[in-house]
Structure 1
């Protein structure tokens, strides 16, 4: 073992530290101890390449950079992909909880070898760009929001795979806080696509099917600045699908008041539904979605389990366990590839439920119907009558108001649509009124409406 390249305390809420490596190296270890924080750590090589991402929540830990990819820790870049190792390196860190910042010690050393191997993994970016176009299903099921031990989750990546398979998912996206997974353990039954949850005091935002992490180009403290975070989100729309997470679940609600509503393309409605505080937050998100739709915004609603716990574990005060795959998204495309899934999501060909399929059938119509007036007949069906012992009800929602309720597996709805702007979707609730699932709406004459709300503050004012 050689002497340390760098050793320091987390004595600020944010800092950028430079240090020099004066020789070629094959192996680096990053170690922390005596930690009582929730901190983020980013290491940049002399050619400014992001080569290590760490979220520190455990009391101690180690991450490894090696010239061999199979010996390099997850969320780190192997040294063979870095052009320059001699020169000035940089560490960016940010303390999120800041309870006793001076207690945490971080040390970067040169080591000789490692006995930990990650040899049964595949490249997530290769999976993202895969052109395997084998047709199979009418739809594919997924979870857009999961966590692992590499941020504050309790499940390993392998356990994520196992639960996703047991839940019958076709794919899922790991969205650890502020870190990006380059590789993932192989699983022949469930696909994994790359993502990241940008986690700030201003809100939590998922970058789905992400081609990179924004921390390749931005400093860690930028996500705490409203203008900078807005810019990061705007840039991310060029390399991912951007979703606002649990937007009204305090204290993790979305707070960028000047954020333009025309950039809100995806939003979680059902998030972490077994959390005791979830029902209230879900209803607020649903109400906000109604306001956005009524104002002419096409916001696609998705769901995320936000799974943090071990399979079978429950939140305190919850009757049922928190499980990856609850809720479940149904993406209506016949090909399980990122390009086709993203295309279906942008079209809003998505429904969300706690378990089995909800389908809205609108034969003879499109998702968007401009220049329309006339009679319509829609059909909705759900694949189960009860959830957790409670019977399910189909609610037909027209322009934000419930027009019809049926307690059955299949329901139809007829109406006359005039030349003005309208939208229709289906919500499914249990006998206690809790939201079990929803479709995304179909739109009529959306081109005829002008927005009254422009920024997120306008929506918050409307919610009051």
Structure 2
């Protein structure tokens, strides 16, 4: 069966019927449009069984499920006959009246693929998010934002695994645009099933997604609420954004990406920031405009803390490139693990990483690694200080390879600043009676953030920021224009 489909809305449902396959199901989507779109496949029982992103990237535009082979785009399941459903999510504003794709469906055909297009496990049952891959209590190094050929990245899984090994990563989150490559299994580190929700109003990483609770289940529910039609629904991008916040917030980490980086900045003016857990404060620092955008994100975090909003900072390389590729005028490659985020876990598991992020028990850094002791080791970054005694905050900095400054900030103001050398130790003691928050950061000689440690705090009352986001940003931008860290 071959059929042309016209996309005229944000979410377009499509249906086709097949007889029960004996061995395999093959679904292919072809398009000449260079636009981000994701196609999700449901079987007649409403079970999600695959996704493909045909508008971007170099990955195959096919879902193939058989007894012996399953592409990274598919989920093995008992093949059924009957009415299958496709949901097409268009990830950008519709500039044309319609875009077209060609749908091809075949059953009981034999297909052969390169190993990096296929799942390596014998099956793809839901991985246990509780399984400990390492029992040590320590900071684990990883990256919460990166891409492969599954969307618009340049590395296949074999190439990505080599980079992760060279970077000595403990974990990685591949965050493909509106899609998940199921069955990815780099042997070098723990993989967190994740996705980058990519919409015209902004980008949000969703960390920790099980195959039975994917974005497409949300799309299915939203289209049903909107009154499902054969070819068109009126689901808005706002509906999808708000739905994702509610749908994933209990089990996943929800993180706002590169919020000040043009043209991918966050522009949803009626956002309720209380629905988020983290903000990406350092993102792909080798991209030309990223350092200034990252500085602004760090300052925005300080602004939010002074407003009584406790969100935490993480980092992401947002790497799309091979290790030998450089952006124009850049002297460093955009590579997984730059920056790295270090999360304190009592044993390495997906759940422990997600919970550590949501509690702020982490820091993000380029180049350096830190030894952090807060209150003689009783507290971690992100913790509330519950005692009344003086607190000593001690940081030792390793791998200082270029000029940089360490800074302690109390309630957003600098209270200590020192030039750093290899093994430098900075100490700040605090015991004020009023509410306060305190964080440590590192900046290079140009004033760009290269390390962000989440604050500790005492007595700060968390507020629900349902203020008009546009007014909030106007206030922040006015203040930011007057700031100067280093």
Greater CA drift, 145-154 or 71-80: 71-80
Residue 28 and residue 422 in structure 1: after superposition, are their counterparts in 2 closer, same or farther (change >3 A)?
A: same
* 2:119 corresponds to 1:107: no
What are the Cα deviations for residues 74-124 of structure 1, in whole angstroms up to 9, with x where unaligned?
1312242x5xx2221222223445677556433222352122363633777
TM-score (norm 1): 0.88
Alpha-carbon contact 1:145-1:306 (below 8 Å) kept? yes
How far residue 362 of structure 1 moved from its aligned partner, in angstroms, is 1.2
SS in 1 for 2:184: strand
Distance 1:103 1:67, change over 3 A: closer
Shift of 1:421: 1.7
Measured after TM superposition, the shift of residue 440 of structure 1 is 0.8
Aligned positions of 1:384-423 closer than 5 A: 384-386=399-401, 390-408=402-420, 409-423=423-437
- The answer on whether the counterparts of 1:354 and 1:437 sit within 8 Å (CA) in structure 2 is yes
CA distance, structure 1, for counterparts of residue 364 and residue 237 of structure 2: 33
Residues 377-401 of structure 1: per-residue CA shift (max 9 Å, x gap)? 3211211222xxx312101111111
Superposed displacement of residue 130, structure 1: 4.3
Q: Deviation of residue 373 (structure 1)?
A: 5.4
Q: Deviations over 1:137-183 (max 9, x none)?
A: 62210001111111111111222211111101011111111112331
Q: Are 1:436 and 2:433 counterparts?
A: no
2:216 aligned with 1:201: no
In structure 1, the residue matched to 2:256 is: 244
| Alignment-derived partner of residue 480 in structure 2 | none
Conservation of the 8 A alpha-carbon contact between 1:65 and 1:78: no
SS at match of 2:352: helix
Alignment correspondent of 1:41? 39
Bigger mean CA offset, 412-421 vs 296-305: 412-421
| Farther-moved stretch of structure 1 (192-201 vs 315-324) | 315-324
Q: How far off its partner does 1:49 sit?
A: 1.6
Q: Where in structure 2 are the equivalents of 1:209-220 lying within 5 Å?
A: 209-211=208-210, 212-219=213-220
Where 1:377 maps in the other structure, the secondary structure is strand
1:88 to 83, 91, 96: 83
The CA distance in 2 between the partners of 1:66 and 1:35, in whole Å, is 25
Cα distance in 2 for residues equivalent to 1:147 and 1:235? 23
Cα distance 1:9–1:329, how it changes in 2: closer, same or farther (>3 A)?
A: same
Match of 1:24 in 2: 21
Given the superposition, is the C-alpha separation of residues 340 and 160 from structure 1 closer, same or farther in structure 2, using an over 3 Å criterion? Answer: same
In the TM superposition, residue 243 of structure 1 has moved relative to its aligned partner by 0.9
Residue in 2 aligned with 1:12? 8
Q: Deviations over 1:213-246 (max 9, x none)?
A: 1212314888843244212212211231111111
Counterpart position of 1:132: 132
CA-atom RMSD in angstroms: 2.7
Give the structure 2 partner of residue 161 of structure 1.
161
SS in 1 for 2:173: strand
Q: 1:443 to 1:222 in 2, by over 3 A?
A: farther
Kept in 1: contact 2:58–2:150 (CA 8 A): no
Regions of 4+ moved over 6 Å: 122-125, 220-223
When structure 1 is superposed on structure 2, of 120-129 and 299-308 the one drifting more is: 120-129
What corresponds to 2:475 in structure 1? Answer: 462
Greater mean deviation of Cα atoms: 53-62 or 425-434: 53-62
C-alpha distance 419-457 of structure 1, shift in aligned 2 (>3 A):
farther
State how many pairs are aligned: 451
Range with bigger deviation, 70-79 or 289-298: 70-79
- Residue deviations 1:302-324, cap 9 Å, x none? 00001111122112232211001
Matches of 1:176 and 1:419, distance apart in 2: 46
CA distance in 2, matches of 1:274, 1:8: 41
